[in-house]
Structure 1
Amino acid sequence: MITKPELLAPAGNLEKLKMALIYGADAVYMGGKSFGLRAFGDNFDDTELEQGIDFAHSLGKKAYITINIFPHNNDLLGLPEYIKRLATIGADAILVSDLGVFRIARQVAPTLPIHISTQANSTNWSTAQFWKELGATRVVLARELSLTDIKLIRQKVNIELEAFVHGAMCMSYSGRCLISNYLTGRDANRGECAQPCRWKYHLMEESRPGVYLPVVEDERGTYIFNSKDLCLISHIPELMDSGLHSFKIEGRMKSVHYVATVIKVYREAIDSYASSSAPFIVKQEWLDELQKVSHREYTTGFYFNKPTQQDQIYTSSSYIQTHNFIGLVKEYNPSTGMAVVEQRNNMKVGEKIEIMQPGMSNFVQTISQMFDSEGNSISVAPHPQQIVTLPMSQPVVPYAMLRRPQGGSDEHDNDNR
């Protein structure tokens, strides 16, 4: 019997948390309004943190809270009380990078499990052993490790290991980047990264101000720091053989559509491999699904070799996606075949759409009719979060998602929010 790893999802707000868990995540990681590394994400206020933890526990799943900034003295104000509250409301663990934060957590909430964030740059077994001896229960490994590195750490140290398997890659060493602070005054190590690694750069010679020289003078352009996104869907067997306890998906600032789609794909791939003795086959539908969400070109990162120029994108910093999220099912009446849908993007009668739902196959249909909240027949739903009713060709469940191929009406890409 193969032991399945935990599938760990990002949760940028309460809706994303619910979608991640409903679409197959075993656990979520999320941040409060302070002390985390996603200062510009929605994040959770105190009430929402408690609601998110309770929702995860109602499904028998877990919720981890990020406290992974590298704090200055004034950042420590209020931290002991915050950690004690997290323990009180039932957080399953906190993610920590800084030894000072670790020390405070041990003092004020000694039974609260601590996971060591990837920001702590754990790249060898001795570091993992050190954290274990201090009382950490899990180490989130640095992105710079190969599968061989991970296996050696697993052999040497009896501690839970977590690693990223999908999402954006940082051009710096596991996120320890100073460029944002230098260029914009926004400190990446305190949750305020401006992502200058995605900007286009030229050289300017001091005595010729205003004369910009391309860094690389050919069609490949000047996006010298712009990494491809990590994707390991084709390597589930190797990952599961490595001894990792948790497969982590990056993307707390990505959309509901992104989180649900990526989690559903990895859930199906993990379950497929764990439930069959046959050779693992990467389904084309999984690869197709991962093209539908907003992403950059994909790479396997450091897992199988040191990245080369082929793992960078030189021509553009824009995202790729083939489909747009247009609606979320709120209710479904099986006797009438009608679904109540919350609009998330302009949609019209006559459009061909795809329906994705948790634990089920996708299906395609045309919007044949649409009614507003008062029962009036309408041809278009143009208003954000407008409630409409429309017939479904197959049964659907709450949290099913409606999407259409790009090129439809008045689209707005929400996948990078």
Structure 2
Amino acid sequence: MKKPELLAPAGNLEKLKMALIYGADAVYMGGKAFGLRAFSDNFSHDELKQGITFAHSLNKKAYITVNIFPHNDDLPELPDYIKSVSAMGADGIIVSDLGVFRIARQVNPALPIHISTQANSTNWSTVRFWQELGAARVVLARELSLEDIRGIRQKVDIELEAFVHGAMCMSYSGRCLISNYLTGRDANRGECAQPCRWKYYLMEESRPGVYLPVLEDERGTYIFNSKDLCLIGHLPELIESGLNSFKIEGRMKSVHYVATVVKVYREAIDSYAAFPDAFRVKQEWLEELQKVSHREYTTGFYFNKTTEQDQIYTSSSYIQTHDFVGLVKEYNPSTSMAIVEQRNNMKIGDEIEIMQPGQENFTQTITAMFNDEGNPIEVAPHPQQMLTMPVSKPVSPYAMLRRQDPRRTRL
């Protein structure tokens, strides 16, 4: 069988490297303009080039998001931007708008174009339309069922991509105007304020200023707040449906989130490919996906129409049980010592879990730490402080240290 591509988000250069090192086949990233994540770090011109070069050094791919719905004043700089990312060796661009598609084909007819989920491709005729125009891939709308995807696959001969994990919109992706209406920030130009996650009360027209909870809860209700998508338990059906690429949402998520989710899906896809008939969902995969910052999980539209069970009404908080506290930079096998960059306060006596690419996790207690001058320290409180510490098993660069915090399960 041909394994589907595992496509990961890259909000900055560090996240890009972590995603690829932890097992993604490709990443998608945005420059400082023309993408739909205006508030992620995004990439400068030089960083885009570095990211593409790094991906290619691992024989992996990098796609650039150009998926805004542009207005006239967005267009003058667009041709040069597409020329630039094309010259860098980008493996494709992701677009939503026919005008952007037209300009891209004029600038470089050979540049692969992927049609964003924002274009709302919900049927085979739409997908075939993009195929006939020369698109290389269509990212299907999140609102499709697995049966819909199978039906599209039977009618078209083009790469198909779909989301398998991450945040969901409460509206059809790309068709929600709440942010624009309430804040003036246009979601279709990368500036969504996520008002679907806000708390709401009901006000009766003849009683202005009297706010009533929609549910009988003094905190109000989060009536638009969708659960997060998670399809780790349904990979066989997804693979057999004919999807070419499995996409993880989250360019604004943390390094810990990206590495953990990618590692889980990498292991699951490889496990199914090796022994399809014996595939089972491992408990440790489910546990790993609970450790990253997330909302409660749902399978979205894949197996049934969404109901009230796919929304969260009590809080807009994320669930989080583990803190990312350190990143391994180097390891000395002769001394069993690791050089670690601190990412969160940690101290001697903390029990930590160490996760690394392609290896099983292990736990240990921090028994000693030394600062960059070689002096012993009890606690590492300074952001990105470099320290040396003994580890109980060999580790590789980019291994991550995390610590469970039983006192805090919600942000």
> TM-score of the superposition, structure 1-length normalised?
0.97
Q: What pairs with 1:64-143 in structure 2 (closer than 5 Å)?
A: 64-143=63-142
Q: CA deviation at 1:205?
A: 2.4
Aligned to 2:296: 297
Deviation digits for residues 247-268 of structure 1 (CA, Å, limit 9, x no counterpart): 0000000000000000000000
Match of 1:342, SS state, is: strand
Match of 1:372, SS state, is: coil
Aligned to 1:228: 227
Match of 2:64, SS state, is: strand
**Alpha-carbon contact 2:119-2:174 (below 8 Å) kept:** no
CA distance in 2, matches of 1:184, 1:307: 27
> TM-score of the superposition, structure 2-length normalised?
0.98
Deviation digits for residues 206-250 of structure 1 (CA, Å, limit 9, x no counterpart): 333321111223589511100000000000100100100000000
Deviation digits for residues 334-383 of structure 1 (CA, Å, limit 9, x no counterpart): 00000000000000001000000000000000000000000000000000
Aligned to 1:39: 38
Aligned to 2:147: 148
Aligned to 1:267: 266
Match of 1:353, SS state, is: strand
**Alpha-carbon contact 1:30-1:63 (below 8 Å) kept:** yes
Q: Residue 19 in 1 paired to residue 18 in 2?
A: yes
Cα distance change, pair 220–265 in 1 and its aligned pair in 2 (3 A)? farther
CA distance in 2, matches of 1:15, 1:386: 17
* 2:81 partner letter: Y
CA distance in 1, matches of 2:217, 2:18: 44
Deviation digits for residues 122-163 of structure 1 (CA, Å, limit 9, x no counterpart): 000000100011010000000010111101111100000000
Q: CA deviation at 1:308?
A: 0.4
- The unaligned stretches of length 5 or more in structure 1 are none
Deviation digits for residues 150-186 of structure 1 (CA, Å, limit 9, x no counterpart): 0111110000000000000001112321100110110
CA distance in 1, matches of 2:258, 2:282: 19
CA distance in 2, matches of 1:44, 1:12: 8
CA distance in 2, matches of 1:120, 1:173: 10
Aligned to 1:332: 331
**Alpha-carbon contact 2:368-2:389 (below 8 Å) kept:** yes
* 1:376 partner letter: N
- Corresponding residue pairs, total: 411
Cα distance change, pair 179–73 in 1 and its aligned pair in 2 (3 A)? same
Aligned to 1:180: 179
* 2:370 partner letter: F
- The unaligned stretches of length 5 or more in structure 2 are none
Aligned to 1:244: 243
CA distance in 1, matches of 2:405, 2:308: 30
Match of 1:236, SS state, is: helix
Match of 1:18, SS state, is: helix
* 1:238 partner letter: E
CA distance in 1, matches of 2:235, 2:15: 24
Aligned to 1:380: 379
Q: Residue 199 in 1 paired to residue 198 in 2?
A: yes
CA distance in 1, matches of 2:276, 2:341: 42
Match of 1:278, SS state, is: helix
Aligned to 1:189: 188
Q: Residue 390 in 1 paired to residue 389 in 2?
A: yes
CA distance in 1, matches of 2:281, 2:220: 34
Match of 1:173, SS state, is: coil
Which runs of 4 or more aligned residues in structure 1 lie more than 2 Å from their structure 2 counterparts after TM superposition?
205-210, 216-221
CA distance in 2, matches of 1:175, 1:290: 27
CA distance in 1, matches of 2:127, 2:73: 29
**Alpha-carbon contact 1:122-1:141 (below 8 Å) kept:** yes
Cα distance change, pair 124–220 in 1 and its aligned pair in 2 (3 A)? farther
**Alpha-carbon contact 2:351-2:366 (below 8 Å) kept:** yes
Aligned to 1:57: 56
**Alpha-carbon contact 2:213-2:219 (below 8 Å) kept:** no
Q: What pairs with 1:210-229 in structure 2 (closer than 5 Å)?
A: 210-218=209-217, 221-229=220-228
Q: CA RMSD in A?
A: 1.4
Q: CA deviation at 1:77?
A: 2.1
**Alpha-carbon contact 1:345-1:412 (below 8 Å) kept:** no
CA distance in 1, matches of 2:175, 2:342: 39
CA distance in 2, matches of 1:277, 1:219: 50
* 2:319 partner letter: I
CA distance in 2, matches of 1:219, 1:56: 50
**Alpha-carbon contact 1:353-1:367 (below 8 Å) kept:** yes
CA distance in 1, matches of 2:215, 2:188: 30
CA distance in 2, matches of 1:176, 1:330: 43
Aligned to 1:406: 405
**Alpha-carbon contact 2:319-2:409 (below 8 Å) kept:** no
Deviation digits for residues 9-62 of structure 1 (CA, Å, limit 9, x no counterpart): 000000000000000000000000000000000000000000000000000000
Match of 2:215, SS state, is: coil
CA distance in 2, matches of 1:121, 1:194: 21
Cα distance change, pair 53–403 in 1 and its aligned pair in 2 (3 A)? same
